[in-house]
Structure 1
């Protein structure tokens, strides 16, 4: 009887969740206008691009006064962490090291900063959004600025050149073998502009992106009485079910409506929906 009541309650809750639109967040309206990456396509000309490691951390945007996430929420860093930072904006990644995304996310999400945890983070700066020059010009200014801070937890992201796709793939393989997530390509002649374009490209061994949770679909069979799949919405407005990759704990306590999740996939259908999509994690740095 208890199990039957639990299932009925879960079904009622799930049905309600499907009918309720994802909640809006005040931080959404205050989100910084960031340069975002497209996906590298083999065969693209590499002349003029800088190459760096793709750091698996939390996007951090210093607006000259506050450290904020990609979604616009304020990051409550210890006062010493941002002391002496410039009035001009810095764009970078709050990074705890290779394979330590969960550590970076939990540290930056705390309302009361954990001083010891923050001492394990680095702010990897990769751009100066308010600088009016090309990336070639911004890169020199960025390196000079970071060096002037003399703070070991603030570092300029190392950049290099590669000439061919074969060299790029070899560098990607070495990076992934060492525990890295992938690579980034930044067009040297480009100016900083918000949104996605080929000025910034990500190079990975798999495709991944993010979608917003808009519903909870009840499970069946072995998943009866708990989550079967998430109903997620892409930025394009298209929706699909995301059930593969969820742990038992995530099925018992699903990501809330309105939260953003990362999923992996292998190519797309003609409709634009992902093929073989698999849940990876919740993105707490997006409201």
Structure 2
């Protein structure tokens, strides 16, 4: 079966809606001319399957009817966003099971892909721009994509985004088809890498943290377990994340055993995100 036909069948199916394209960390040594670059938005992923708005994990998001009614019947992939530095406020709006119409008026749906399109990202980008122009909705846009000529220019742009309060950059290979799961065709570039883990246990603190949480025992998606004890405020130590919660942390690199080094807590991933 031809590759483009297989991609069309896969991502037009319910299975495709449950398996989004996921990014891999930047390692260097890329032919940057082959990639589109965009800002990595600090929002909540929103996947439109043609009928419902879903989170990254596939849970329905309770968006107002006016927000979704105007969306096209084809699958969309993007980020629900309020702007730089407003993740917590966005979470309160987007994950509320009783949507607040006035609050949702502030939310923008920033597209970065078309899961059902059979062509490479170069073609999908053009199709997204045409779709947004046709829909003409004030809350629907395409995340701006641009090219860089060198790694020096790429890191200069990263520094600029970070200085302006942004999170990082995404690199999307122009000739790559949309595919399920983690792929080298989509790359994230940040000053520090981040990862998620599941809380297995809350470990008691000692010394100045007596009576509070000392660290969290986390399990990574690959089964590796480690203790996360840095990056918490005193309030977070008094009311730590619950067992079973998913937390995001930053780290420098991995040890030979696959454990994150110099890890620091960032936030608890909201339920449903």
Q: TM-score, normalised by structure 1?
A: 0.87
**Residues 71 and 285 in structure 1, CA contact (< 8 A), matched pair in contact too:** no
Pick from 44, 47, 50: which aligns with 2:36?
Answer: 50
Inter-CA distance 169–33: structure 2 relative to 1 (3 Å threshold): same
CA distance in 1, matches of 2:18, 2:130: 24
Pick from 96, 103, 116: which aligns with 1:117?
Answer: 103
* Match status 1:128 vs 2:114: yes
Query: Is the radius of gyration larger for structure 1 or structure 2?
Result: 1
Q: What residue is the counterpart of 2:6 in the other structure?
A: none
Pick from 191, 202, 215: which aligns with 2:188?
Answer: 202
CA distance in 1, matches of 2:69, 2:17: 23
**Residues 30 and 72 in structure 1, CA contact (< 8 A), matched pair in contact too:** no
Q: CA deviation at 1:247?
A: 1.8
Structure 1 residues 84-233: aligned runs within 5 Å: 84-233=70-219
Q: CA deviation at 1:224?
A: 2.1
Q: CA deviation at 1:31?
A: 7.4
CA distance in 2, matches of 1:47, 1:241: 40
**Residues 231 and 239 in structure 1, CA contact (< 8 A), matched pair in contact too:** yes
Q: CA deviation at 1:174?
A: 1.0
Q: CA deviation at 1:128?
A: 0.4
* Match status 1:69 vs 2:52: no
Q: What residue is the counterpart of 1:261 in the other structure?
A: 247
**Residues 242 and 278 in structure 1, CA contact (< 8 A), matched pair in contact too:** yes
Q: CA deviation at 1:267?
A: 1.2
Pick from 9, 15, 19: which aligns with 1:33?
Answer: 19
Q: What residue is the counterpart of 1:22 in the other structure?
A: none
**Residues 260 and 286 in structure 1, CA contact (< 8 A), matched pair in contact too:** no
Inter-CA distance 194–117: structure 2 relative to 1 (3 Å threshold): same
Inter-CA distance 79–142: structure 2 relative to 1 (3 Å threshold): same
**Residues 259 and 286 in structure 1, CA contact (< 8 A), matched pair in contact too:** no
**Residues 105 and 285 in structure 1, CA contact (< 8 A), matched pair in contact too:** no
CA distance in 2, matches of 1:61, 1:55: 15
Paired residue secondary structure (1:47): helix
Q: CA deviation at 1:286?
A: 4.7
Q: Deviations over 1:135-181 (max 9, x none)?
A: 11111111111111111111011111112100101111111111111
CA distance in 2, matches of 1:131, 1:142: 10
- Unpaired segments ≥5 residues, structure 2: 1-14
- Unpaired segments ≥5 residues, structure 1: 1-28
Q: CA deviation at 1:114?
A: 1.7
Q: CA deviation at 1:236?
A: 0.7
Q: TM-score, normalised by structure 2?
A: 0.91
CA RMSD of aligned residues (A): 1.6
**Residues 136 and 188 in structure 1, CA contact (< 8 A), matched pair in contact too:** yes
Q: Deviations over 1:21-67 (max 9, x none)?
A: xxxxxxxx997211010111233221210011100000111111111
Paired residue secondary structure (1:94): strand
